[in-house]
Structures are given as C-alpha cells and as structure tokens.
Amino acid sequence: MNNAIRLQYLAAMGINVWLPRVVSAVEHALPTAMTEPDILMTTNPIEDEQVHPTLANSNDWDILKSEVQNCTLCALCNSRTQTVFGTGNQRADWLIIGEAPGEQEDKQGQPFVGVAGQLLTEMLRAIGLSREEVFITNILKCRPPNNRDPHVDEIKHCKDYLQRQQQLIKPKIILAVGRIAAQTLLETNDPLAKLRGKVHTLNNTPMVVVYHPAYLLRSLPEKRKAWQDLQLAKQTVIAMENKICVD
Ligand code: URA
C-alpha cells in the first residue's frame, strides 16, 4: 500500500500523523495517543498465568489446518469457494479474531483482505505490528452467503477450530474485531459500546474488543475510541511483559 493511502487511513482513524525526517509516521503516532485517560480494566490480566510457547506443535497445527480445509460440519461448505483458516505467525503474541470471511476473503483464502482488511492492517501498523507477526482469523472459517450474520449452528461447529488455534498459538492478547466477534466470544448480547474499553479474559488470555474496521469506515466519529482500544491492548501486553521480567 502506498504511503499516501496509509496516511489517509491513519487520518481517518484520528491518529495524529507526524512526518519526521527518518522515523516512520506510525512510530510517532503511537506515543502521542498513549495519554488517553478513560480506560477501564474489568479483570487483572497481569495476574493471569501466561506461559508463552517456545514452539507451537506444528504437527497439530497441520492437522487442524487440514480439518478446517475439509470441513463439512455445516451448510456453508456448499457455498464457500474455500475455507479461510487464518494467516500470520503461528506463535504470535497477538491473536486477532474477526467475524467471518467476506467475498474477497472467500476468493483469496485469507482473512481481512478487502477494504476493511486494509484498514485493519493500518490499525495494526499504528501500534507497531505487521500482519506477519500477528495471527488473524475469524469466528467462522467459511463465508456466509451475502455476508449475512453467522448462524448459531455455524458458530457452534466452528468454535472448536478457534479454540484449538488459540491453544496452539498461546497468544498474550486477543483482539476481538467487531460486535459479532465480541458478542460471540464473550457469549453476551451486550452492545459493543459496552464491551469496548475494558480488558476481558478468554480462556485465561486477556481480550480487548475493538470496533470493526468496516464500521469505522462508515462511522468516523468512533475512530478515536478504536484508537484508545488499540492502545489499551498494547498497554496490556506491555504490562504483562514487564511483570514477566520482574518475576
Ligand atoms: N470482516 C471480518 O470480520 N473478517 C474478515 O476476514 C473480513 C471482513
């Protein structure tokens, strides 16, 4: 993506872009926004036991991948072009979970590759992360027709795949992207506005909820909140890492 488009995305998120002589705009954007005060913690993730793996079990990973690829547990197998397992680092500190593949994702076999995906890439970059170092996946591994919301039985059948991904990756933090991902993972109907701005816990791993980039593209007033949530997630990881160093 060229720099002009990247800067457009950052500006759309309300991130102050500084144009230094040598250091990238994103590296400068981070500290300027880290002073946001209105952050709530519902749990103390620092007290969670986080054991980061030296190696994920690649055999288990390959088995899981092949199970997903050949899955016929729900009717979405009939309409999909292909499954979308997820992409990125199998030993990532950050596990990013969206809702379900859309049209582009179904075509390309990768999560978040459409316009919303480009914004997600820029949101990650804004906190110093590349797509390659995180792992990005979805609640559903197949595209629901016409991008409708996932059905209960589809979520139920796909749940085990996501849980096994989390167990193998052992991320330090989970970012739930959008209302459906957040509500599904937290098993609640609470609106996203109520779920964001806090650190939740999912299977002993801290989880932060962030607005879906597709929503942010339509509703720019929420961009500042999305930036705060990314900062909250980042600070949570830093706090955990500092605690591990002290212990
Ligand atoms: N939206 C999602 O939630 N996931 C994708 O992979 C693409 C768009």
Give pLDDT, residue 15: 56
Which residues, judged by CB distance below 6 Å to any ligand atom, belong to the binding site of ligand 1? 98-102, 105, 111-112, 114, 116-117, 138, 177-178
**Strand order across the beta sheet in which 87-88 lies:** 87-88, 135-138, 94-98, 173-177, 205-210, 200-202
Tens-place pLDDT, residues 53-109: 444 578 999 999 999 999 999 999 999 999 999 999 999 999 999 999 999 999 999
CA distance 211 to 223: 8
Cα angle for residues 49, 189, 146 (degrees, 5° grid): 105
Tens-place pLDDT, residues 123-151: 999 999 999 999 999 999 999 999 999 99
User: Taking Cα atoms as reference points, which of 172, 89, 174 lies closest to residue 132?
Assistant: 89
Q: Is 152 helix (H, G, I), strand (E, B) or coil?
A: helix
DSSP secondary structure code for residue 49 in this structure: -
- Output b/e per residue, 187-206; b: 16+ Cβ within 10 A: eeeeebeebbbbbbebeebb
Q: Specify the pairing of strand 200-202 against strand 205-210.
A: antiparallel
CA distance 170 to 95: 9
Atom number in ligand 1 closest to CA 84: 6
Give pLDDT, residue 57: 75
Give pLDDT, residue 44: 36
Tens-place pLDDT, residues 157-167: 999 999 999 99
Q: Which pLDDT band, with edges at 50, 70 and 90, does 195 fall under? A: very high
CA distance 88 to 103: 20
Domain count, the chain: 1
pTM (two decimals): 0.81
What's 37's domain CATH number?
3.40.470.10
- Look up the domain containing 232 and give its range: 3-246
Pocket test for ligand 1, best of 112, 139, 179, 216 (most atoms within 8 A of CB): 112
Residue 14 backbone class (left: φ over 0; alpha: ψ -120 to 50; beta: rest): left
State the DSSP H helix or E strand holding residue 120, giving kind and residue range, or none if neither. helix 115-126
Give pLDDT, residue 85: 98
CB atoms within 10 A of CB 148: 9
Distance of CA 107 to the CA centre of its chain: 20
Burial class (CB within 10 angstroms; exposed 0-12, middle 13-18, buried 19+) of 227? buried
Pocket test for ligand 1, best of 103, 119, 136, 138 (most atoms within 8 A of CB): 138
Mean predicted confidence (pLDDT) in 2-17: 60
Share of the chain above pLDDT 70, in %: 77
Give pLDDT, residue 10: 60
Minimum CA distance residue for ligand 1 atom 7:
112
- Residues 6 or more apart whose Cβ sits within 8 Å of residue 204: 48, 49, 50
